[in-house]
Amino acid sequence: MPSGSFPELDAALPELERCYVDLHRHPELGFAEHRTADVGARALRDAGCEVTSEVGRTGVVGVLRNGAGPTVLLRADMDALPVREQTGLDYASTQVTTNDAGEEVPVAHACGHDMHVTWLLGAAKVLGSRRADWAGTVLFVLQPAEERGSGARTMIEDGLFERFGTPDVVLGQHVGPMPAGHVFTRPGLAMSASDTVHVRMFGRGGHGSRPETTVDPVVMAAATVLRLQTIVSREVAATDSAVVTVGALNAGSKDNVIPDEADLQLSIRSFTEQVRGKVLDAVRRIVRAEAVAAGAAREPEITVVESYPLTVNDESATESLSTRFREVFGERRVHPGPIVTGSEDFGEFGRASGVPSVFWFVGGTDAQRFVTASEAGTVDQDIPSNHSPQFAPDLHPTLSAGVETLVTAALHHLDG
């Protein structure tokens, strides 16, 4: 992406780089982003914003007013993941914390939310110094707990729009394993819905040498895992799509003891509400049927613990912004984005406020490295994706590119 679109950014880049490195070294899990929120709040104040902290527990809202005009909401998520970083960077995270279950876990910004926060703070700095170029209000929203699927909703329920005003448009962006400095937009459906389902199956334990006296929950769970794989292959139409992944199966503690219980953790992805409902209904039916087939005396517990809605971009607003991106950054660096099977809670802001929302991706992988892998057909193997312990965006030009796209998007919707 060409430099010089915003001269103020050049002077701010060293400070923004220090901010990013600091955030990367000090990741925090969802609803525990106290240090990150403090860093963000200070930077937003320095940019001239009125700042309110503890919105939706650990969220931060900065309000930058510049006369009468539209209100634009810019959002960045703050939380990290329980992942042990393996990037080899000299500023790699070595943090360890205790999660909500009381377990000690490593923490890393394996999804790039530290870059998102830095982009937002950079945009606040640039917009704060360019007041002559625009009029209106910008809401800078630092959102907690995106990885838990509830951070956006928690801020909304804490009166985000009642307290700070309803925007005219909601804008957000995500770093991804695409060529750095390139922008990817998509009108309409952009990201899948996601549901995390926990299943607890009940058997009757006993000695491993006498399985006839037991109801083995390990066998019950194993049969369930296999049967669940038939949902997509046999119940979802070929013209539709869905993903059912069993990411965890936990049962027992010793080879010669048949346990009483088994636990399954499922991740479900879908792209329409009809398919979503069908898949969830099928999961419940199969889990209960396998328990009956095994002779379980107690019905399984099936709990949806996290849900992300579909991310659907307003088509008109996305087309208009994509045109503006092409004008500013050139046709070769702005591309149609694919439908992403990952999920986001960003869309909650647009739905709750009833205004258009647009979400896009900015590449964070060295462009030549990506081209080489693409030509070799090894992108999936050679380019770490979000949530990988090897994932970390290249600092430059990713840092400046994301600030420029966010500022460009804001100015596109503000009076000037």
How many CA atoms are closer than 13 Å to the CA of 196, on its beta-carbon side?
13
Sign of the alpha-carbon torsion through 59, 62, 68, 73: negative
Instruction: Write out the two tokens for 340.
Output: 């992403």
The verdict on whether residue 174 carries a ligand-binding annotation is yes
**Strand stretches in 67-161, DSSP E:** 71-77, 96-98, 104-106, 136-143
- CA dihedral over 43, 44, 47, 51, signed as positive or negative: negative
49 is in an annotated binding site: no
User: Where do the DSSP E strands lie in 157-300?
Assistant: 169-179, 183-185, 188-191, 193-202, 206-207, 242-251, 257-258, 261-270
Instruction: State the burial class of residue 300 (Cβ atoms within 10 Å of its Cβ: 0-12, 13-18, 19+).
Output: buried
Q: Based on C-alpha coordinates, what's the Rg of the chain?
A: 23
Residue 26 assigned as binding residue: no
- Is there a binding annotation on residue 113? yes
List binding-site positions.
111, 113, 147, 174, 387
- Binding-site positions for Mn(2+): 111, 113, 147, 174, 387
